[in-house]
Amino acid sequence: MLSIKVDKAELDRQFAALLELPRTIEKAVVGAVAETVKDVHTAQLEELKMSMAKDSAFLKRGLWIVQPYGKGRDIASAGTRFNNVGPRGTPAAIIGPNIKGGARGNKASAKALQAKGILPAGYFTVEGKDYPRDSKGNITRGRYSQMLDALGAISKEDRAKFPKSGQKDRKSVSFFVIKRGGQPFAIAERKGEDVKIMLVFVRNTNYREKYDYMGAGDKQLAYSLPRHMDRILLRYMSKL
């Protein structure tokens, strides 16, 4: 008679491992998504660098990773997003038109110029190509304040809302409106003999889609997720 001796301890271990299998798969999925989100973030930052004229550190820091774990989070909420919380000029507000394209609203400074009759109705302002910018790639609010004050386009009450300019030589700088055929079309800054165009007046401020944020993420997701899933699941299964 052939007899088979069953190792009960080993059988119990394997049975317990089978019961734990759904939880093991869940952990593998969460781990794979977490690693994939990091890859997607890296790919989107690289696409940002190649797509934008200025590789802004402010925008790069503003692209956040949202992992599939933590309070109130799950796999469905995982991914990346641009920070849209804070004062005016958030990364989400700045980068949005470059992702979706389309028009933007008028800035507070442009509205002040329109109220003064300097900026024609229906026009917008865009920053001069060679005008100095801060680390965020924008003209500072202090410089806007100085310009509006010089052109009489800001009240005492509104002046308090704008920070003072950081220019050490602000007294030697003046601003003036440039006209063409009697029509205002730009605002320039003069410092001695040096003249720089600060703002240009335009009718159309439509942005073209030039930063493929979603496309870069989708491509990286399709590449990374199955590979991380296979690797992590194999590691867990080898321990059963």
> SS3 letters for 58-105?
HHHHHEEEECCCCCCCCHHHCEEEECCCCCCCCHHHHHHHHHHCECCC
Residue ranges of domains in the chain:
8-100+211-237, 108-202
- What pLDDT, on the 0 to 100 scale, is given for residue 230? 93
Could you say which DSSP state residue 179 is in? E
- If pLDDT is split at 50, 70 and 90, which confidence band does 195 have? very high
- If pLDDT is split at 50, 70 and 90, which confidence band does 229 have? very high
Tokens of 137: 């790639």
CA distances from 32 to 25, 50, 65, 72 (A): 10, 27, 15, 19
Element (H, E) at 200: strand 194-202
pLDDT digits (tens, 9 = 90+) for 5-51: 555 565 556 656 556 667 888 888 999 999 999 999 999 999 999 98
> Does the structure show a pLDDT above 60 at 166?
no
